[in-house]
Structure 1
Amino acid sequence: MSDNSRTAIVTGGAKGIGAAIVRKLSASGTSVAIIDLDEEAARTLADQVPGAFALIADVGDHKALGEAIEAACAQLNGLDVLINNAGWDHVQRFTDTEPSLWDKLIHINLKGVFNATHLAIPQLIARGGGRIVNVASDAGRVGSSGEAVYAACKGGTIAFTKSIARETARHGITVNCVCPGPTDTPLLDEIKRDERAKATMDAIVRATPNRRLAQPEEIAEAVAFFAAAPAHVTGQVLSVSGGLTMAG
């Protein structure tokens, strides 16, 4: 299938890594539905990107997300690619957190992936196959101080990726996972307002062989690879961390 005939949904596509993914897919000719809670940012981006449009939904709300995905697929005339990118983080030592924070992290980072995947698979099957790309985190691969619940959600996303890859292979659907290291995004700027979190992030950059943060466009390149990868590439996890973590 040529890029010019592809359709995609990007959750959390309004800003940061998500916006870079939207721009990358659009540049290849893919029509893209942006699903995000930030209506202003989503609509602003959609106005700037050819073939893109915005829908507003909470990925952790199965009913609301279902309505958005149904509307997206109707406007796209079918779905070829789902990018599960929506995510949120709050850096704090686990013993200082409360269950309400755990619930929010799980709602967005893990339940959001479950919901979008559950809703998109029938659309992909109807299309005769497709691609699912989950954006997790290296925190889910190796752990991260101050991000215990976030890391647990991302580790769950990695395991979920592999399980769904096994379940959907017979339908011609591939499922792969991109794990960014620390990336220069508005969310990271927000996290670094806390001095302890900033010190942690600065130390991580110093420990990275490339000695810098990833740029959103670099994550988007990896996502775009899996979005168009051969059908025999499935259940895989790719770190984009400047060498901060390396596979054994």
Structure 2
Amino acid sequence: MTSEAPVALVTGGTGQVGSVVVRFFAERGARVFVPYRTLAHWEALRASLGPLAGSVAGAQLDLGSADDAERAVTSAIERYGRLDWVLCLAGGYRPGRIAETDPALWEELLAMNLWPTANVLRAAVPRLLERGTGRIVTVGARAALDPGAGSVAYAAVKQAVMTMTLAVAREVRGTGVTANCIAPATIDTPANREAMPNADYSKWVPREQVAALLWYLCSPEAAALNGAIIPIAGGQ
């Protein structure tokens, strides 16, 4: 691998979607830096990558902390000498109708979905602007575009992520940096299959298709795409 290989910072990279994205990017020659919270998950990711593990580095950090998010960006640059792509995949889902949505649930969803993305972008955007090139991709949700009953806080928090991404896209417009957001429906993961054993999995979004879309958004061919919210819904 050459020193010119692009460098991707992938939050949520040890998760069931993120691990597929990390492999997809490493297979195509990218170098990947993964901030992680749980050592066992990081070790499982490294083991699953086999020979590709040499293209992936990481550090144990809590991206809910602005200081740790700064360390993640700094560590990626120190490790690889550059930063090209920032993929904010860290997140999580919790259901609840409005009467069931207490302050603790709001705080949990903000901690899982909004603060890691906001903190990482706060640290990464100035670095990308200094280089005059870069790609930012965040993860919203179809539930934020078309909210249904039973996921009030999740839909609202994901809408906040989407709005933040649009605002960042305005900030970086014309600089060589782009910011876009994907809005997936239910993704086909082992956890979702366990939670919904009677669902029609054929209509769910394959993880590999999420990875392929992210790869495209980081590519030179996507240079003109900035400030887009891209639904990825499968057959749902």
TM-score of the pair, normalised by structure 2: 0.89
C-alpha distance in 1, partners of 2:232/2:59?
A: 28
Which of the numbers 78, 84, 102 marks the counterpart of 2:82? 78
Residue by residue over 1:171-201, the C-alpha shift from the partner in whole angstroms, topping out at 9 and shown as x without a partner, is 21101111111012244356x2xxxxx49x8
Q: How does 1:14-53 map to 2 (within 5 A)?
A: 14-47=14-47, 48=49, 49-50=52-53, 51-53=55-57
| Alpha carbons 1:4, 1:29 under 8 Å: kept | no
Deviation of 1:153 after TM superposition, in Å, equals: 1.3
C-alpha distance in 2, partners of 1:136/1:161?
A: 9
Deviation of 1:98 after TM superposition, in Å, equals: 1.6
Identical columns (%): 27
C-alpha distance in 1, partners of 2:129/2:205?
A: 34
Q: Report the counterpart of residue 233 of structure 2 in structure 1.
A: 241
Q: For 1:242, give the aligned amino acid.
A: G
Q: For 2:175, give the aligned amino acid.
A: H
TM-score of the pair, normalised by structure 1: 0.85
C-alpha distance in 2, partners of 1:127/1:46?
A: 30
Q: Does 1:222 align with 2:213?
A: yes
- 2:130 is paired with a residue whose SS is helix
Q: Does 1:98 align with 2:117?
A: no
Q: How does 1:77-156 map to 2 (within 5 A)?
A: 77-156=81-160
Q: For 2:17, give the aligned amino acid.
A: I
Q: Report the counterpart of residue 11 of structure 2 in structure 1.
A: 11
Deviation of 1:160 after TM superposition, in Å, equals: 1.5
| Alpha carbons 1:86, 1:108 under 8 Å: kept | yes
Q: How does 1:201-216 map to 2 (within 5 A)?
A: 202=199, 205=200, 211-216=202-207
Deviation of 1:211 after TM superposition, in Å, equals: 4.7
Deviation of 1:4 after TM superposition, in Å, equals: 5.9
Q: Report the counterpart of residue 231 of structure 1 in structure 2.
A: 223
Q: For 2:21, give the aligned amino acid.
A: I
Residue by residue over 1:134-168, the C-alpha shift from the partner in whole angstroms, topping out at 9 and shown as x without a partner, is 12111111113222111111111111111111111
In structure 2, the gaps of 5 or more residues are none
- 2:87 is paired with a residue whose SS is strand
| Alpha carbons 1:12, 1:37 under 8 Å: kept | no
In structure 1, the gaps of 5 or more residues are 193-197
- Give the alignment's Cα RMSD to 1 decimal: 2.2
Q: For 1:220, give the aligned amino acid.
A: A
C-alpha distance in 1, partners of 2:4/2:61?
A: 27
C-alpha distance in 2, partners of 1:10/1:60?
A: 15
Deviation of 1:170 after TM superposition, in Å, equals: 3.1
| Alpha carbons 1:17, 1:185 under 8 Å: kept | yes
C-alpha distance in 2, partners of 1:138/1:129?
A: 29
- 1:160 is paired with a residue whose SS is helix
Structure-2 change in CA distance of 1:3 and 1:76 (3 Å)? closer
Q: How many residues align?
A: 230
Q: Report the counterpart of residue 195 of structure 1 in structure 2.
A: none
C-alpha distance in 2, partners of 1:99/1:171?
A: 39
